[in-house]
Structure 1
Amino acid sequence: MDKVMRLASEKDVVVFSKSSCCLCYAITILFQELGVTSTVHEIDQDPEGREMEKTLVRLGCNAPVPAIFVGGRLVGSTNEVMSLHLSGGLIPMLKPYQTWC
């Protein structure tokens, strides 16, 4: 759990991903279109990936990837991020991290 929390808090917007996950790619593109540079950690490329995946599920992610952290806080997975975006809550959350205004 320490590694996940450390990586999640090192950068403003962090996505835990798998290289073959199309939803992970879609979330990364959404952030780019919203002017946010996210840091992506491909857990399938990490030797501790299985343990990281278990940690993400224990933290409350329905699916282990994508797992999105903003400001070191777990936002959730695709469903939570898209729900926030559709309800108008995502952009205000990301505003401090946008590279353009």
Structure 2
Amino acid sequence: MHHQTASWGSYMAQARSTMVEEPLERIERLASESAVVIFSISTCCMCHAMKRLFCGMGVNPMVHELDEDTRGNELERALMRLLGASSVVPVVFIGGKLIGTMDRVMACHINGTLVPLLKDAGALWL
């Protein structure tokens, strides 16, 4: 009698790795991989400003350049649906939670809620 040694969990992990990830699932996974995640386009001046804001605060965000991703257009369309907007980059996630676009992040920065969000996510230790 043959005994199978692979567990159901390892089988499912293999099955998932061979399936193509849906754009929203991929966004969720990428957004949870770092304390601060920015979906960006490398030539966008607002994206550059957002990256500089976080770096200037001592935060090292994980940046996903949509124009350098083979499925970047799909991710951008999914972000548009998620935000209900036609123009979305840069899009910021802190602690795996959607914060929003440039205007929302700047509002948080101005009203003093950005630093506590970053501290809670483990992106700042001050």
Please classify the TM superposition score into its range, dividing by the shorter chain length: over 0.9
Q: What's 1:76 paired with?
A: 100
TM-score, scaled to structure 1: 0.93
Instruction: Report how far residue 61 of structure 1 moved.
Output: 5.8
Q: What's 1:48 paired with?
A: 71
* 5+ residue gaps, structure 2: 1-23
1:33 aligns with 2:59: no
Q: What's 2:111 paired with?
A: 87
Q: Percent identity?
A: 45
Structure 1 residues 35-89: Cα deviation after superposition (integer angstroms, max 9, x where no partner) = 1110000001111011100111111163321000001110000000001111111
**C-alpha RMSD of matched pairs (Å):** 1.2
**Partners of 2:115 and 2:98 in 1: how far apart?**
16
The structure with the larger Rg is 2
**Partners of 1:5 and 1:93 in 2: how far apart?**
18
Instruction: Report how far residue 17 of structure 1 moved.
Output: 0.2
* 5+ residue gaps, structure 1: none
Q: Considering Cα pairs closer than 8 Å and 6+ residues apart, tell me whether 1 or 2 has the greater RCO.
A: 1
Q: 1:61 touches 1:76 (CA, 8 Å); kept in 2?
A: no
The SS at the match of 1:10 is: coil
